[in-house]
């Protein structure tokens, strides 16, 4: 018999380039907020920790958690590219569901300014990295194909950035919280044709956390049920796939999550998706089933994915505006959906949000369709 699970509490630090703050300092803010939000007496109530990080030092989670009293329990560190935080969430949920632990902390932490001056450098041991293919290059090629094959316009891609910057104005934790126009997006410096600077996410330093346990409702009405979570790694990406990189892994992972939750994409009220680049959100909304193949540009242009539209996407501002501290990103997405479903998202609140979906896809290994993808469904029936 499996245990129904819920998010008891969430917390995050601010997001941005914060070289003056160490990984432990960022972690303390996020974890203590999550513990308080969950109504726990203190850190000693936590039975286990799953921590996601990509560039963190060995032992970064233990080093960060010891000062707030999280010691002696199992602490498992996970690296799964951009999906590291949501992979930690997925594993924490399964640990509670199976009865292995009762109160589990899922943690994401990244201090990217300690490692990089700017964009993430290609990994030279990787076949594509050795050729200089950084992530902007890969997404730029996807964008070029979408322009050619489906007629996606530069203006439609720019609208993703405009929308998510507008949403972030209501998010006091976001790295970039000012509005931009289509003209400003297109006039910003070219990074990987046709993607300009404002169509690419920024590196950031941050931590995010969630406490997961058995469902306590109705005595704890702020608990948010976890209806499903699915995790897949990418299959071989070769001539057998007719889609751009990342499409298949998102679609297949989402199909599993929808099936487990007993819903379809039309049942979802709000999404937080991996928009590291504007074309990424366009491709992802298609793969999640919000529109047909090739229709993602028209979808954002229609206002469907804006706050006030039928299915808002990235009300937090997404990676484009909140920033992208790789290990912390997925749990920041979880936190946003929890706040939305509780009605606690303030100026960016989506009306009557009852079901939310988080999608995080991480990539970079040559030859496979993404290192990993997690899709989670949260909310009440």
pLDDT given for residue 193 in this prediction: 96
Contact in structure between 23 and 109 (CB atoms under 8 Å): yes
Sequential pLDDT tens for the chain (381 residues): 688 999 999 999 999 999 999 999 999 999 999 999 999 999 999 999 999 999 999 999 999 999 999 999 999 999 999 999 999 999 999 999 999 999 999 999 999 998 887 777 777 777 777 777 788 999 999 999 999 999 999 999 999 999 999 999 999 999 998 999 999 999 999 999 999 999 999 999 999 999 999 999 788 999 999 999 999 999 998 888 899 999 999 999 999 999 999 999 999 999 999 999 999 999 999 999 999 999 999 999 999 999 999 999 999 999 999 999 999 999 999 999 999 999 999 999 999 999 999 999 998 788 888 899 999 999 986
Q: Assign 35 to helix, strand or coil.
A: helix
Per-residue exposure over 73-102, b if at least 16 CB sit within 10 Å of its own CB, e if not: bebebbbbbbbbbbbbbbbbbbbbbeeebe
pLDDT per position as a tens digit, 61-119:
999 999 999 999 999 999 999 999 999 999 999 999 999 999 999 999 999 998 887 77
Q: Which residues are catalytic?
A: 82, 324
The encoded tokens of residue 51 equal: 């921590």
Tokens at residue 18, please? 């914060």
What pLDDT score was predicted for residue 1?
A: 66
The pLDDT of residue 218 is 83
- Grouping H, G, I as helix, E, B as strand and the rest as coil, residue 1 is coil
Non-local CB neighbours of 333 within 8 Å, separated by 6+ positions: 85, 86, 272, 273, 316, 358, 360
Domain 5-116+200-379: which CATH number of 3.40.1390.30, 3.40.47.10, 3.40.50.970, 3.30.110.30: 3.40.47.10
Q: Determine the number of helices (DSSP H) and then strands (DSSP E) in the chain.
A: 11, 11
The pLDDT tens digits of the residues spanning 203-253 come to 999 999 999 999 997 889 999 999 999 999 999 988 888 999 999 999 999
Stretch (H or E) spanning 245: none
pTM of the model as a whole? 0.97
């Amino acid at each position: 018999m499996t245990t129904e699970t819920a998010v008891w509490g969430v917390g995050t630090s601010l997001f941005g380039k914060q070289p003056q703050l160490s990984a432990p300092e960022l972690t303390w803010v996020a974890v203590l907020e999550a513990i308080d939000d969950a109504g726990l007496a203190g850190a000693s109530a936590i039975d286990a920790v799953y921590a996601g990080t990509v560039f963190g030092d060995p032992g970064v989670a233990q080093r960060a958690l010891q000062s707030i009293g999280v010691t002696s329990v199992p602490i498992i560190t996970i690296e799964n590219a951009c999906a590291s935080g949501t992979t930690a969430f997925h594993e924490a949920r399964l640990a509670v569901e199976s009865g292995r632990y009762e109160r589990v902390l899922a943690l994401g932490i990244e201090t990217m300014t300690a490692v990089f001056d700017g964009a993430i450098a290609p990994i030279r041991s990787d076949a594509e990295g050795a050729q200089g293919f950084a992530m902007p290059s890969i997404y730029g090629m996807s964008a070029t194909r979408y322009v050619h094959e489906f007629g996606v316009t530069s203006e439609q891609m720019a609208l993703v950035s405009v929308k998510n910057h507008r949403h972030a104005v209501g998010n006091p934790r976001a790295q970039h919280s000012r509005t931009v126009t289509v003209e400003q997006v297109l006039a910003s410096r070219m990074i990987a044709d046709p993607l300009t600077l404002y169509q690419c996410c920024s590196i950031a330093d941050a931590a995010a956390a969630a406490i997961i346990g058995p469902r306590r409702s109705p005595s704890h009405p702020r608990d948010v049920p976890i209806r499903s979570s699915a995790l897949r790694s990418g299959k071989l990406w070769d001539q057998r796939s007719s889609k751009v990189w990342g499409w298949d892994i998102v679609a297949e992972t989402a199909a599993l999550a929808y099936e487990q939750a007993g819903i379809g994409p039309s049942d979802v009220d709000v999404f937080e998706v991996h928009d590291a680049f504007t074309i990424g959100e366009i491709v992802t909304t298609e793969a999640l089933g919000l529109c047909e193949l090739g229709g993602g540009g028209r979808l954002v242009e229609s206002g469907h994915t804006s706050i006030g539209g039928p299915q808002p996407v990235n009300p937090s501002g997404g990676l484009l505006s909140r920033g992208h501290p790789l290990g912390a990103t997925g749990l920041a997405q979880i936190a946003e959906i929890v706040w939305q479903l509780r009605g606690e998202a303030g100026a960016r609140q989506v009306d009557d949000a009852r079901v939310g979906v988080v999608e995080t896809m991480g990539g970079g290994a040559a030859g496979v369709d993404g290192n990993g993808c997690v899709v989670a469904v949260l909310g009440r029936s």
